[in-house]
Amino acid sequence: MFVCVCNALKERDVREAARVVGKSCPKAAYAQLGCKVKCGQCLPFAREVLMDGRGA
Ligand code: FES
């Protein structure tokens, strides 16, 4: 499932980035992936993914 449509980031991508940068900040995870937050619609879900590590 996509977390961020603007950057085409999937849950797995965000979680892998969080292993490097920590779980507190979706923006840092996106930066680790070479992306930036654009519309911001994804941030609540991105935080959820970072915090509970759910999904595939
Ligand atoms: S959906 Fe992530 S920045 Fe737009």
Domain boundaries, the chain: 2-52
Q: What is the 3-state secondary structure (H, E, C) of the chain?
A: CEEECCCCEEHHHHHHHHHHHCCCCHHHHHHHCCCCCCCCCCHHHHHHHHHHCCCC
Ligand 1 centroid – CA 27 distance (Å): 11
Dist. CA 35–CA 40, nearest whole Å: 12
**The model scores a pTM over 0.75:** yes
The Å distance, Cα 48 to ligand 1 centre, comes to 14
23-53 tens-digit pLDDT? 888 999 999 999 999 999 999 999 999 987 5
Candidates 2, 11, 39: which one to mutate for ligand 1, based on the most atoms within 8 Å of Cβ? 39
- The CB of 41 under 6 Å from ligand 1? The reply is yes
CA–CA separation, 22 and 45 (whole Å): 16
10-29 average pLDDT score: 91
pLDDT score of 52: 75
* The pLDDT value given to residue 40: 97
**Distances from the Cα of 15 to the Cαs of 3, 20, 23, 40, in angstroms?**
10, 9, 8, 18
